[in-house]
Amino acid sequence: MERPEASAVFARFEQEARRQKKSKRKQQIVFGIVFILALMGSAHVGEVDIPEFWEGLPAFFNYFRETAPDLSLATFPSDVADWYWGFGKWMKGLWDTLLIAFLATLFGFSIAFLICFTASRNLNSNYFTYFISRRILEIARSVPELVYALIFVFSFGLGPFPGVLAVAVHTTGALGKLFSEVNENTELKAAEGVTASGGNWSQVIRYAVVPQVLPNFLSYGLLRFEINVRAASVVGFVGAGGIGQELMFAIRQFLYKDVSAIVLMLVLTVILIDIACEKLRHFVIGQGSI
């Protein structure tokens, strides 16, 4: 025979389950309404027009047909040679782009590494330095690389140097945020052990935090290098050096075949960098060999 106390407990349990289910349903309805309103508002502001999209879609594929080279099997080597008539010049620009991306990633990684520990709430009890560090990182990443490139080109003139500065500043902000979030997910028992042994704050970071976070820092740094290759190409549009200047010239002169040749070089370069970075990361964390 079921006891009255058990029946009452079960009844309260059922009542609470129904209440939570009803509350969850209300939250889902509210979320759905907000999502639909946000979607409608975004579509209105973005002037999304489905009929216009379908009407203009053929022109999208026509552009790719315009940029595609004329290749035939009988004359394939000469056709490719004509397509890549500026290969030497473009390779020099691509090499400049890689160097811009490498230096920008190195500088951005280094500065982000120095700032991220004071920007981590669990590692920095001083709210003033925490607040300043977070705001510096936010300012650095909130402005697009292209805007920074315009500022630095105006200040230092045309060339790769403004491109390095522009990409490095944005990289500092982006990596600094990622690094600080990695720090905030670390296990602090090792830090407590270093502190109990008489270690100061810098020693806690050096011996307790850095060994835990360094693999993730490296992974984010390699990913950012891949991103920066594309960013370094874009800042070349405003005269900040690299292959972007050649690409912008080809676009302005309606040299569609040159555009496709340069874009293909960029795509292949990013693929090779991605493969190399993946192998390097696996080698560093001990899951493979180069």
- Tens digit of each residue's pLDDT (9 = 90 or more) over 14-29: 777 788 888 888 888 9
CATH number of this structure's domain 86-284, picked from the four choices 3.40.50.300, 1.10.3470.10, 1.10.3720.10, 3.10.20.600: 1.10.3720.10
Distance between CA 255 and CA 234 in Å, rounded?
18
End-to-end CA distance of the chain: 71
Distance between CA 247 and CA 140 in Å, rounded?
27
**Per residue in 40-62, is it b (16+ CB within 10 Å) or e — as a string?**
eeeeeeeeeeeeeeeeeeeeeee
What is each CA distance from 50 to 16, 41, 44, 54, 125, in whole angstroms? 46, 15, 12, 6, 53
Q: What is the pLDDT of residue 66?
A: 79
* Tens digit of pLDDT at every position of the chain (290 positions): 455 566 776 677 777 778 888 888 888 899 999 999 998 888 888 888 888 888 877 877 887 787 888 888 888 888 888 888 888 889 998 999 999 999 999 999 999 999 999 999 888 888 999 999 999 999 999 998 989 999 999 888 888 899 999 999 999 999 999 999 999 888 888 888 888 888 888 888 888 888 888 888 988 998 899 899 988 888 888 888 788 888 888 888 888 888 889 989 988 998 898 888 888 877 776 655 55
Q: What is the pLDDT of residue 79?
A: 84
Distance between CA 245 and CA 214 in Å, rounded?
36
Distance between CA 60 and CA 57 in Å, rounded?
5
Q: What is the pLDDT of residue 208?
A: 85
Residue 244: how many CA atoms within 13 Å on its side-chain side?
A: 25
Q: Is 216 helix (H, G, I), strand (E, B) or coil?
A: helix
Burial status of residue 265 (CB atoms within 10 A of its CB: 0-12, 13-18, 19 or more): buried
What sign for the dihedral angle of Cα 59, 64, 69, 70? Answer: negative
What is each CA distance from 230 to 166, 227, 243, 265, 273, in whole angstroms? 13, 6, 10, 12, 11
Residue type, 102: F
In the chain, where the domains are located: 4-56, 86-284
- Tens digit of each residue's pLDDT (9 = 90 or more) over 26-83: 888 999 999 999 988 888 888 888 888 888 778 778 877 878 888 888 888 888 888 8
Find tokens 């990622």 and name the residue: 178
